[in-house]
Structure 1
Amino acid sequence: MNIAEFELLRQNEVREIIKKNIEVDSLKFALSYRSQTVPAHLISTQIKYLQKAKHKLPSYYNALCVIPPISYEQSSSEATASLKKETGELCLDLTCGLGVDSFYFSKNFNKVISLEMNPLLAAITQYNFNLLGAENIKVFNQKAEDFLAAYTGEKFDLIFVDPARRDDQQGRVFLFEDCSPNLYEILPLVSKLTRKLIVKASPLFDNAEAWKKFSLMSSLSVVSVDNECKELLMTFDFENSPSLLTEKILLNRKGIDSTYIFNKTESNEHQLPVASSSTYLLEPDVAFYKARVNIQLFNKYFPSLKVSFEQIDGYFFTNEEVSREFPGRVFRIIEEIDFQPKALKMLLKTKGIKKANISKRNFPLSVEEIRKALNLGDGGNVYLFFAKNRLGDHKVIITERGS
């Protein structure tokens, strides 16, 4: 998108066309629309990305915001942004982009300053904020390092940064020295300008490595939406030295937000015996596995629930009814057998099972390899869990979704 196309998309008549055709197939629209002044592909692309944004960015969809395709793909979802619950007077977002995080900070801060290096994207984002009614956000077309070096105003309550990759090395694990702004370079200056700093990191970044690299970090949060790990949030509190370092799990499950907080030094021990048989299989949200706090979850939040496990990073088992508040999936166990592909394939055929949902932990084969070996399609009401027990034996647990 260029500046001329952006100006066309701002025109009232063009916005009316988009609004009228918001539910129309974008390809069909592109083939049927004729205009001497507005290219069909420009409107059809906006229709396409607004339709994609309906669930990821519902506020942007409802306001008919202008959505550049690349910015959309790189943006956070509103469900993810809503989990950042910081409050205060003044917030600075060093890396605005499409502005989803800034938009949600504006709900809890009196004023938000947001920086965007790309002049066109800065103009589009400010325009969108106006459509969204977020009048307390001011977008500056400026590089983060330059803004910080020249800033002489009041101290920020929060500075937020989502460092962007400088290159196309997408296969590499997230490294801050490969990003802009470089966190290591700006951290000394940022610590003087704000009370608190939150750094968004890729979910590929290892939690233990984060604690190792940043000794000033006070809290590390894993953000998950509907059992999918979205990001890590590294929090630095420069004014209040925390008495305890904490690890947090921030969840949005079916639109409901919840937070779980753990002392980083809490025990990871859970001395319950291995159950000879169990009624239910429990799989905590993926965020608890990412943070390696499954045992702490049961110890702190479900102390009365008697559970057992084979591997600390595997599945959990119980004979008790599980509360609906449990942050994970619950399955009723039908049968547990040894993993012998030929015998299992015959058993599934006998039961008339042609497709199943497959999960695995501490198991040598991938989900795709398991499907191929068993000739199983995806879906249905049966859930197969593949795991290794304490003796190193490979097991298959046949289940159905719990109530």
Structure 2
Amino acid sequence: QVKARQRIRKKLPSWFANEDIEFPDTLPLEQCSSELAAHYRASLLSGELLADLTGGFGVDAAGFARTFSKVYHVEQDESLSNLVTRNIEALDLGEKFEVIHADGIRWLDSQENGFDALYLDPARRDHRGLKVSSLEACEPDLSRIWGNLLSKAKVVAVKLSPGLDIDATLKELPGICEVHILSIGNECKECCYLARRDWKGGARIVCANHCREFEWNCFEFSREEEKSCEGSYGGFQRYLYEANPSIMKGGGFKVLGDRIGIPLVHPRTRFYASDQLISDFPGRVFEILGQGELRRKSASELFPDRQANVMARNVGLSSEELKNRLKLRDGGSLYAIGAMDVSGKRRLLKCIRVRENAAVYE
């Protein structure tokens, strides 16, 4: 229990502080949602009845108990189900939270009445413990049971890995009206898909980046909006911008530039540039101190100490490969950024982070 508590200190701070809560083995703790993500997800749904068909350790279900009158936590692992039952009192969930030991899908099939919402967090590892990269490899396989899920609830919410392709998922799972992409600590953690049985329109993409406590910076767009946006492109200027991980995953690059009024430096480089500082840009901001051709000679001139944090964007090399080619070593406050410009030339940029922005968005 002591080791388990230490593992979840940052992930589940209020649970960590509650000495009456029991914790499971390592795997359920690794797979469970963070308290921040569960809180965000619960803010998306509300109503009378919700069933969490892949209950696990109960973090998600406990979050939904704040916004639903009754929550069913369905878990097929008996020991985990019993543990959650013992934790109900410690979590102060009362009668609105019911733990059921059963296979979630089979239990759902046995229910005659419908639900306001269903929630699933499919297992994303195979029998060898390796992460899977397709819906079919998840357990349960959503592509096979999707129609049944939509017939049982007004809304179906599904948490999936950010490694899964969003557009492919939208094609495989009809009725999705919203995709929420969550990033915490400058890392894309998950995608939450919301579906309604009669929804025929496109999906709204919400790129949510955690700022502080339970505050999120959200950028919303649709695939149709991004497709119809012409976008603007220009050369490197004084400041360089890279969108936060949620936007990078969501892909609303032209829309973001159009709304803020800054150009991309290249259609595939995914950096923006401006002469004036945009301090509230949703992502990282760099100041360009110098630049040259993407060659070792330029690296020697720009970084005489041979030290920098190396980033490669759209230059045909990974960041590690570029670092080795330029003979640079990691560290320091400077950034060596290799990027293709609007004319198609590969440039090496000497940059430094603009820290005011980092405090807001990371």
Question: Within 5 Å, which residues of 2 pair with 1:17-36?
Answer: none
State the TM-score, normalizing by the size of structure 2.
0.88
1:118 aligns with 2:77: yes
State the shift of 1:74 in Å: 1.4
Deviation at 1:380, TM superposition (A): 2.5
| CA distance 1:393–1:186, change in 2 (3 Å) | same
Which amino acid in structure 2 is aligned with residue 81 of structure 1? A
In the alignment, does 2:344 pair up with 1:392? yes
With over 3 angstroms needed to count, the CA separation of the structure-2 counterparts of 1:262 and 1:343, relative to structure 1, is closer
**How has the CA–CA distance of structure 1 residues 371 and 48 changed in structure 2, closer, same or farther, with 3 Å as cutoff?**
farther
3-state SS, counterpart of residue 22 of structure 2: coil
- Is 1:235 the counterpart of 2:194 in the alignment? yes
For residue 171 of structure 1, report the CA deviation from its aligned partner.
5.4
Structure 2 equivalent of residue 319 of structure 1? 275
CA distance in 2 between counterparts of 1:388 and 1:169 reads: 40
Does residue 247 of the first structure (1) align with residue 205 of the second (2)?
yes
Shift of residue 173 of structure 1? 4.5
Structure 1: how far apart are the matches of 2:202 and 2:69? 29
Structure ranking higher on relative contact order (CA contacts 8 Å, 6+ apart): 2
Once the two structures are overlaid, the 10-residue window that deviates more, 133-142 or 261-270, is 261-270
CA 1:394/1:315 → structure 2, altered by over 3 Å: closer, same or farther? Answer: same
**Which among 245, 255, 265 is matched to residue 309 of structure 1?**
265
State the AA in 2 paired with 1:75.
C
Q: How far is 1:201 from its partner?
A: 1.4
Give the corresponding residue for 2:313. 361
> 2:38 maps to what in 1?
81
Q: Conserved in 2, the CA contact under 8 Å of 1:311 and 1:388?
A: no
Quick check: 2:288–2:349 contact (8 Å CA) kept in 1? Answer: yes
Check conservation: 2:231, 2:263, Cα contact below 8 A: no
- 1:379/1:105 Cα in 2 relative to 1: closer, same or farther (>3 Å)? farther
Q: Which amino acid aligns with 2:265?
A: F
1:189 maps to which of 148, 166, 181: 148
1:313: Cα distance to partner? 4.6
The residue that corresponds to 1:134 in the other structure is: 93
* Aligned residue runs from structure 1 range 174-213, under 5 A: 174-213=133-172
Among 151, 172, 176, the alignment partner of 2:111 is: 151
Unpaired runs of 5+ in structure 1? 1-45
- CA drift of 1:361 comes to 1.7
For the 8 Å contact 1:292–1:313, the answer to whether it is kept is no
State the secondary structure of the residue aligned to 1:198.
strand
- Within 5 A, what are the aligned runs for 1:35-46? 46=1
Letter matched to residue 150 of structure 1: S
Preserved CA contact (<8 Å) 1:308 1:318: no
Secondary structure in 1 aligned to 2:210? Answer: strand
Aligned length: 348
Letter in 2 for 1:50: R
Higher Rg of the two aligned structures: 1
Q: Which residue of the other structure, out of 159, 181, 184, is the alignment partner of 1:222?
A: 181
Aligned to 1:70: 27
| Cα distance change on mapping 1:152 and 1:51 into 2, 3 Å | same
In the alignment, which residue of structure 2 is the partner of 1:281?
240
Shift of 1:286: 1.5
Separation (CA, whole Å) in 2 of partners of 1:114 and 1:248:
27
Q: How does 1:246-265 map to 2 (within 5 A)?
A: 246-255=204-213, 256-265=215-224
Change (3 A) 1:371 1:170: farther
* Superposed CA offset, 1:266-325 (max 9, x none): 1443443513x511111111221212112212334x2xx33342234521111122132x
Could you say what secondary structure the match of 1:180 adopts?
Answer: coil
My pick for the range that moved more, 358-367 or 203-212, is 358-367
Structure 2: gaps (5+ residues):
357-362
Calculate the aligned-residue CA RMSD, in Å: 2.3
Could you say if the C-alpha distance between residues 260 and 157 of structure 1 is closer, same or farther in structure 2, counting changes exceeding 3 Å?
Answer: farther
Deviation string for 1:318-344 (max 9, x for gaps)?
Answer: 1122132x2211111111221112441
Partner of 1:52: 7
Tell me the secondary structure at the aligned position of residue 102 of structure 1: helix
Structure 2 counterparts to residues 309-348 of structure 1, below 5 A: 309-324=265-280, 326-348=281-303
CA distance in 1, matches of 2:320, 2:84: 41
Shift of residue 105, structure 1, vs aligned partner:
1.2
Assess, with a 3 A threshold, how the Cα gap between structure 1 residues 341 and 168 changes in structure 2: closer, same or farther: farther
The 3 A distance-change label for structure 1 pair 387 and 169 is farther
What is the CA-CA distance between 1:93 and the residue it aligns to? Answer: 0.6
Identity among equivalent pairs (%): 27
What SS does the aligned partner of 1:195 have? strand
